[in-house]
Amino acid sequence: MAQEGASKQFSFRLPESLIDRVEECRQGLLDAGLEVNRADVVRLLLKHALDATHCDHRVLFGNRSARDRTRR
């Protein structure tokens, strides 16, 4: 899968339930004939989410303000 420009490593932990969803997405892409690994899927999903929401808290959190959200 082609990458855009230079890249840097970025590490973080995810709950197993989210990893399971990433793996389901990956399997769907593999079934469609795309050769992708887990990192490819996370990059695709992250780019799509950023493009779709423009990191607007109203889109990310619905009608609740970002301050109303409790940190988990």
Per-residue pLDDT of 28-53, as tens digits, reads 999 999 999 999 999 999 999 999 99
38-53 helix and 16-31 helix, angle to the nearest 10 degrees: 100
Q: Considering its fold, how many domains does the chain have in total?
A: 1
- Looking at residue 49, its pLDDT comes to 96
Angle 71-60-62 from CA coordinates, rounded to 5°? 95
pLDDT at residue 21, rounded to an integer = 98
Task: Please check whether residue 43 lies inside any domain of the structure.
Answer: yes
What pLDDT is stored for residue 72 in this prediction? 54
**Is residue 3 situated within a structural domain?**
no
Residue whose pair of structure tokens reads 């409790």 in the numeric block: 70
Range of the domain at 54: 16-68
pTM of the complete model: 0.75
Task: Determine what percent of the chain is predicted with pLDDT higher than 90.
Answer: 68
pLDDT, position 55: 92
Q: Model confidence at 5, in pLDDT bands (50, 70, 90)? A: confident
Contact 41, 32 (CB under 8 A): no
Is 9 domain-assigned? no
